[in-house]
């Protein structure tokens, strides 16, 4: 067959990329054509996303893509939960607020006064986190926000960017399912949640399935950039669900760990799993591609290393991630451990100082240098993965013999090996570019060049390098896990 080219935009919490997916009928090759930073901006104490800058970078990417020939379609995936508000004329009312902004502090517990926790979870099946869309909007309602009063439509980040390109206001299902306003059973916006939290019902638009062609790039943008009109496909808007498509599993029942700024450990189910046990473990059910359910735990990920690196750079210490990993590999093991999901690590700032304070409060020896700090973070993450894996298996009743680890975090061989050690399972690591490959695969399925999700996974497995890590020092890690469980009680 003649090669097809589709363009995938992948926006993470710190950077974005435009990557060309080239499909020749047997393999997918990736060609990065543009990379850019995605930097939050704080104004008057509020942390925003610079969304217009992101639109500028999309346009720059489309201009650069002209040099690579015809493009069949484009798709955009982003992080979850954040959104923009449009007025009745379709104008953006304000830059979207960053999920790490402090406006949602206390909103989860406050919401239970309006909708009891058990009922809230029964409807949505979502892990309770203050950053979720429901609590962002609820905080605005509680503060009588003038923006909420003026808003006509709410669009989540990938849907907002799709709107900028096409003028179409729709909401893609996987990204909607991150909001805690989605009814996991009815597969629709939850009227019960919207009513209980007193949110304006008109904000919520039509939900479409991932893989839906929502329109073409507008004529205005076509003329501005001198490009051809191209279909815009609503891929799995939530980057985790794009990554899940690219998990190279050969088993029907498998567990995956998507590792990046966030770590998401989960499995793929045919229907939601919502009961008292999953509520107690605070496991989330998200819509996945092809009608599947992503049953997973959100765990703070390499954000802790990323934010530590930013702090060290502010202090004049500039080191690459590979240099920091080398320092960590040379540091003494198990000097300290933290609960990565402790609320004090959830906002931007001086993470190394907070780790030292955490160690002091928990009677541990604090790290004294960058190597010890990074090693302790990685060890703590690996132990958190072990705990999440045990909770997942307790809920599903299935023991998963292998962990499929995907995403940018697998570039840390140290973390991959620690994960195998802590979990006592082999780790199959790859692909690094899982999110982009999933984005590309969904586009190829939408245009009819790839027949099914199974075929897409086979294609990706045959296109990408995979590395395996066998567990080591299992008894030592078992002892450390016992300490970890005591620490985080």
> Which are the catalytic amino acids?
239
Task: Round to whole Å and give the CA distance between 133 and 477.
Answer: 37
**What does residue 478 show for φ and ψ, rounded to 5 degrees?**
-60, -45
Task: Round to whole Å and give the CA distance between 305 and 374.
Answer: 6
Pair 28, 437: CB distance under 8 Å? yes
For residue 296, give both structure tokens: 């997973």
Pair 164, 55: CB distance under 8 Å? yes
Pair 171, 206: CB distance under 8 Å? yes
Question: Among all chains, which residue has been given the structure tokens 């800058």?
Answer: 53
C-alpha torsion angle, residues 389, 395, 400, 402 (rounded to 10): -30
| Angle of helix 370-396 versus helix 474-487 axis, rounded to 10 | 90
Provide the b/e sequence for 118-156 (b: ≥16 CB within 10 Å). Answer: eebbbbbbbbbbbbbbbbbbbbbbbeebeebeebbbbbb
Task: Round to whole Å and give the CA distance between 364 and 358.
Answer: 8
Q: Return left, alpha or beta for 155; rule: phi > 0 is left, psi -120 to 50 is alpha, else beta.
A: beta
Task: Round to whole Å and give the CA distance between 43 and 98.
Answer: 12
Closest listed residue to residue 277, CA positions, set 182, 190, 397, 187: 397
């Amino acid at each position: 067959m003649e090669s097809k080219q589709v363009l995938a935009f992948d926006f993470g919490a710190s950077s974005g990329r435009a990557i060309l997916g080239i499909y020749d009928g047997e393999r997918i090759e990736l060609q990065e054509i543009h990379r850019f930073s995605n930097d939050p901006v704080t104004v008057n104490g509020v942390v925003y996303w610079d969304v217009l800058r992101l639109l500028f970078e999309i346009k720059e990417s489309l201009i650069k893509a002209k040099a690579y020939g015809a493009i069949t379609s484009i798709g955009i995936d982003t992080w979850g939960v954040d959104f923009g508000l449009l007025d009745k004329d379709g104008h953006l009312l304000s830059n979207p607020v960053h999920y790490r902004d402090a406006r949602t502090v206390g909103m989860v517990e406050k919401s239970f006064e309006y909708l009891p926790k058990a009922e809230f979870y029964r409807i949505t099946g979502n892990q309770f986190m203050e950053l979720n869309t429901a609590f962002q909007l609820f905080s605005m309602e509680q503060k009588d926000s003038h923006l909420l009063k003026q808003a006509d439509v709410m669009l989540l980040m990938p849907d907002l960017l799709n709107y900028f390109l096409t003028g179409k206001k729709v909401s893609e299902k996987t990204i909607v399912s991150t909001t805690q306003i989605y009814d996991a059973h009815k597969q629709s916006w939850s009227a019960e949640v919207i009513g209980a939290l007193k949110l304006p019902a008109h904000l919520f638009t039509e939900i479409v399935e991932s893989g839906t062609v929502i329109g073409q790039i507008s004529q205005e943008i076509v003329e501005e950039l001198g490009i051809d009109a191209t279909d815009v496909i609503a891929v799995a808007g939530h980057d985790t669900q794009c990554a899940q498509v690219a998990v190279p599993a050969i088993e029907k029942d498998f567990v995956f760990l998507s590792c990046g700024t966030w770590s998401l450990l989960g499995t793929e189910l045919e229907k939601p799993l919502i009961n008292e046990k999953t509520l107690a473990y605070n496991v989330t059910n998200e819509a996945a591609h092809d009608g599947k359910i992503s049953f997973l735990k959100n765990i703070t990920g390499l954000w802790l290393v990323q934010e530590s690196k930013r702090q060290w750079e502010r202090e004049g210490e500039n080191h690459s991630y590979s240099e920091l990993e080398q320092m960590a590999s040379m540091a003494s093991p198990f000097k300290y451990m933290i609960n990565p999901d402790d609320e004090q690590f959830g906002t931007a700032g001086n993470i190394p100082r907070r780790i030292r304070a955490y160690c002091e409060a928990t009677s541990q020896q604090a790290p004294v240098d960058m190597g010890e700090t990074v090693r302790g973070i990685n060890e703590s993450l690996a132990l958190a993965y072990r705990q999440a894996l045990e909770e997942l298996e307790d809920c599903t009743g299935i023991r998963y013999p292998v962990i499929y680890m995907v995403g940018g975090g697998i570039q840390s061989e140290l973390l991959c090996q620690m994960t195998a050690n802590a979990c006592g399972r082999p780790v199959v690591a790859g692909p690094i570019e899982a999110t982009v490959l999933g984005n590309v695969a969904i586009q190829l399925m939408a245009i009819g060049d790839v027949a099914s999700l199974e075929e897409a996974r086979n294609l990706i497995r045959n296109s990408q390098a995979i590395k395996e890590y066998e567990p080591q020092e299992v008894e030592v890690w078992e002892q450390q896990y016992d300490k970890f469980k005591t620490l985080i009680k």
